Amino acid sequence: MSETPEAPQAAETAGEAPAKKPVTAGRVKKPAASSRAAAPAKAAKSAGAAAPVKAARPPKAESHTALVRRARRIDRELAEVYPYAHPELDFENPFQLLVATVLSAQTTDLRVNQTTPALFARYPTPEDLAAADPEEVEEILRPTGFFRAKTKSVIGLSKTLAEQFGGEVPGRLEDLVKLPGVGRKTAFVVLGNAFGRPGITVDTHFQRLVKRWRWTEESDPDKIEAAVGALFPKSAWTMLSHHVIFHGRRICHARKPACGACPIAPLCPAYGEGETDPEKARKLLKYEKGGFPGQRLNPPQSYLDAGGRPAPPLGAG
């Protein structure tokens, strides 16, 4: 992840839960399998309209009840566009997820996914990584950037896990944030996707979009987490994070959002900040085109069914 408030040690979303399934987003309606393959095209489909979308801007004095309804409707719409939304880091257990999340600071998930197989093949457990030669770890992590600081963090957290937690990743927020290089954002990634415990991942994609949607005016990640969490049932938090981050990576970009191809334009107060012409907006989409944000070496089957492509190994693309 190239954008993060916890630089350089924090990270963004991560891979599939190995044991427990991540918490699903409340009552979001899941599309049938046949519709999943067409899901990525739903947003792009609006780009074929003859005229730009006319967004219904919420009133400046939107009531809290109206805000809750609009926020939840946005999440339902995004759930239909991204039925395969998932953590985008590859992992097989909580330890791998924790390390991969720390490594994803200031780089892309794709680069982390191309790098971690060699790391985990050589150091499969916290005890192994805790006893590793830092120079050897640095050489493996070099492609991820900030490799010296990241080496210090992953070896440090591995030592703490081995010495204080019996080599197991703790499943409590208060324990996770004590680990070197682990902040609340990273902790919620691990809790939500490795342990199935709800959490909101406030990365810069999430911060940018919730401000554009006027869900909150807060700037501090902890306050954003609290404000947005109050709009949704706790059970929806993990999948909400995936939906928002997927949308931020693929359509609602920082510099030039693809407003004219956005499926939630009628609900967005910031409609018009980006390209509103449907044809031009469609060219800005970053969907499943060999080399898109968050590409994984081992994506879930639902993602492949929806048109996603596996990432190439390191050095192959």
Query: How far apart, in whole angstroms, are the C-alpha atoms of residue 154 and residue 160?
Result: 10
Cα dihedral 209/50/43/69 (nearest 10) = 50
Task: Report which of 149, 108, 103 is spatially closest to residue 123, judged by C-alpha positions.
Answer: 103
Residue 128 is among the residues annotated as catalytic for this protein: no
Query: Could you count the other beta carbons within 10 Å of the beta carbon of residue 259?
Result: 24
Query: How far apart, in whole angstroms, are the C-alpha atoms of residue 232 and residue 255?
Result: 28
ω into 8 cis (within 30 of 0) = yes
The 3-class secondary structure across 261-277, one letter per residue, is HCCCHHHCCCCCCCCCC
Query: How far apart, in whole angstroms, are the C-alpha atoms of residue 112 and residue 110?
Result: 5
Contact 193, 97 (CB under 8 A): yes
- Coil, helix or strand for 237? helix
> Which of the 8 DSSP states describes residue 260?
G
Catalytic residue among 175, 178, 203, 223: 203
Query: How far apart, in whole angstroms, are the C-alpha atoms of residue 108 and residue 11?
Result: 10
Catalytic residue among 75, 109, 150, 185: 185
Query: How far apart, in whole angstroms, are the C-alpha atoms of residue 179 and residue 130?
Result: 13
- The count of C-alpha atoms lying within 13 angstroms of the C-alpha of 111, restricted to the half-sphere facing its C-beta, is 19
Q: Write out the two tokens for 302.
A: 């639902």
Query: How far apart, in whole angstroms, are the C-alpha atoms of residue 317 and residue 312?
Result: 6
Residue 203 is among the residues annotated as catalytic for this protein: yes
Active site residues: 185, 203
